Structure 1
């Protein structure tokens, strides 16, 4: 199905991101290139370019565009980077990441979402994204280390096992705080002596839960 985006909506979409402080030109290009209307539910396509979160299957959400752009910008991506995403959802964040790095591994605990995202990303040509059905709290050992890690669901704290998956000078972004309230985006940078931690902005995400979902 072709994208329904129209120029006036896309123009306001980009202007809104710039006004809210997104300045990385590569991130802005990626946000412009990825058709968000193809990642929302059909009934919500008219609202795809509004700066709001929208519901998707399994009680999950696709984050508002500003949050996607902001988290992506804070990662400081390079074309050579290998990125891990926890919480595939619709696949939109992974698609944006894929325009800015060499490879994305994204893990989703809901089979329905994983299957839909895998199919959608393939149909749209995002062939450097690998969608895995799995537990974001228990990343398979064979997945290796990553230059960047992004968590798109709320965690009460960042598991040390996840932080240890960062390579040298790696960066992790995650919403940390109460699962059913307001969280704070936290940026971890791996250094020679440990991790530097910085709090960024307040956000609200659905909870990150361990294990595979019963609702498949």
Structure 2
């Protein structure tokens, strides 16, 4: 009972902060509300589930603060019927919310243990349209056709143009690009013909992408 109240209060505070920053999509906020973030954070960080703090998880990875996670979901502009690729499963929270907005989601991560834990959370929440895989995301995901939306949560040094082949016409990719050795900015790239239209969104704390799947974790 107490956890349920904390969840409601945390979500309400998050909504107020998001509205102040211009995020007001009812579809996105409803999907977030239906996906309890406390199920995705390590137990010792439950009190921070809805805060803007970055939360460490296994394998040296981290969860974005709640504000950033929802801003990314809002920027994706997902519609019913969309197929979505997420590169960087992490805790699985973002994939779970996308699963409530899109028709089908494939989410990949280089760490097997993160995929296994995220899969258990999907099953506990009866989310069945999210497919999780351990895979190397440095070249996206080939062999799965094209996607309406792609979200990448590891930073590239330059625009990863190979993603154009994995997007439908008019589809968009949100990806962090390094602006210097320590900082990156989220960029939305929309496929028009054979090129991308670029829109810079906001800075974010992502780390440079590490290629190859992890052998031991």
Provide Cα deviations, 1:22-47, integer angstroms capped at 9, x if missing partner: 12111111122210010000111121
Q: Which residue pairs with 1:55 in the alignment?
A: 56
Could you list the per-position Cα deviations for residues 151-189 of structure 1 after superposition, in whole angstroms to 9, with x for gaps in the alignment? 012222232222321111001001110586220111100
Structure-to-structure mapping, 1:1-216, within 5 angstroms: 4-6=3-5, 7-177=8-178, 181-216=182-217
Shift, 1:73, TM fit: 1.2
Q: Scaled by the length of structure 1, what TM-score is found?
A: 0.93
Cα distance 1:4–1:186, how it changes in 2: closer, same or farther (>3 A)?
same
Q: Distance in 2 between matches of 1:54 and 1:20?
A: 21
Contact 2:82 2:104 in 1 (8 A): yes
Structure 1, gaps ≥5 residues long = none
Q: Is the 8 A contact 1:155 1:176 kept in 2?
A: yes
- Aligned length, in residue pairs: 215
| Structure 2: gaps of 5 or more residues | none
- How far, CA to CA, are the matches of 1:202 and 1:193 in structure 2? 27
RMSD, matched Cα? 1.8
3-state SS of the aligned residue for 2:51? coil
Greater than 3 Å deviation, 4+ residue runs: none
* Structure 2: distance between partners of 1:72 and 1:180: 26
